[in-house]
């Protein structure tokens, strides 16, 4: 399993070959509180970095989930429709949102590694 890369909007991506699995960070789900609903994108949808790709709603707020890279959505995590709390219990595992077939892997170079993101998130408090 490759390492996670992060955006300034608190999304993470884990790449395996040309497929990136995307979710929100532990920091983001802590800020949101208990997740009660997730709206996932349609499979086949094309996204670009920064595009609104999904919506996550909690008892506190609703928040957009942005695409960290460009490509095609090839899979969504249907388990979140039944159990949105997976985002809280396992944000970087079973709480993933979508899988994107990357169209430009060099976009990953603009994302933060875990150490950089941890420092960035600490500054957000």
The pTM of this model reads 0.96
| pLDDT tens profile 82-122 | 999 999 999 999 999 999 999 999 999 999 999 999 999 99
Contact in structure between 80 and 6 (CB atoms under 8 Å): no
- To the question of domain 4-105 being in CATH 2.40.50.100, the answer is yes
| pLDDT tens profile 43-78 | 999 999 999 999 999 999 999 999 999 999 999 999
Cα distance between residue 17 and residue 7, in whole Å:
20
Q: Which residue has the tokens 């609703």?
A: 62
Cα distance between residue 65 and residue 80, in whole Å:
14
21 pLDDT more than 70: yes
pLDDT bin (cut points 50, 70, 90) of residue 26 is very high
Given this model, what pLDDT does residue 2 score?
55
Given this model, what pLDDT does residue 124 score?
84
């Amino acid at each position: 399993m490759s390492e996670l890369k992060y955006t300034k909007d608190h999304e993470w991506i884990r790449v395996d070959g040309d497929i990136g699995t995307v979710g929100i960070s532990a920091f983001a789900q802590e800020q949101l509180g208990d997740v009660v609903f997730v709206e996932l994108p349609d499979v086949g949808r094309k996204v670009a970095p920064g595009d609104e790709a999904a919506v996550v709603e909690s008892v506190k707020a609703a928040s957009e989930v942005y695409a960290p890279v460009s490509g095609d959505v090839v899979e969504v995590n249907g388990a979140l429709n039944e159990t949105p709390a997976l985002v809280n219990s396992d944000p970087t595992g079973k709480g993933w949102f979508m899988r994107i077939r990357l169209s430009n892997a060099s976009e990953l170079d603009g994302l933060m590694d875990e150490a950089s993101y941890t420092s960035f998130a600490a500054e957000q408090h």
